Amino acid sequence: MKKIKGVYRRNAVVYIRYQNEEGELIRESTQQRSLKVAETILAQRKAAVAMRRNFPLRVSALWRSDRLLVDLARLPHA
């Protein structure tokens, strides 16, 4: 059986590992025993990273509190 980079087994459950958009290593249980299913899930996760999807931190970075306070200070006072 050929080893798949980023897919490994622990106690009969298959796990995947990949890097997120910020380069952090993510380890995730597939809750499956099948290597084929794990390979498919890993491909989906890598595609999501490549397409920059499902990263709520990117959205929240736009609304940082210090930036929001600066924007509020620029508003004309009534």
Rg (CA), the chain: 20
pLDDT digits (tens, 9 = 90+) for 3-33: 888 999 999 999 999 998 888 898 999 998 9
pLDDT band with cut points at 50, 70 and 90 for residue 73: confident
* High-pLDDT (> 70) share of the chain, %: 72
Going from the C-alpha of 14 to that of each of 42, 43, 67, 68, the distances in angstroms are 11, 14, 42, 43
Q: Give the neighbor-by-neighbor strand order of the sheet with 13-19.
A: 7-10, 13-19, 25-32
CA distance 67 to 1: 53
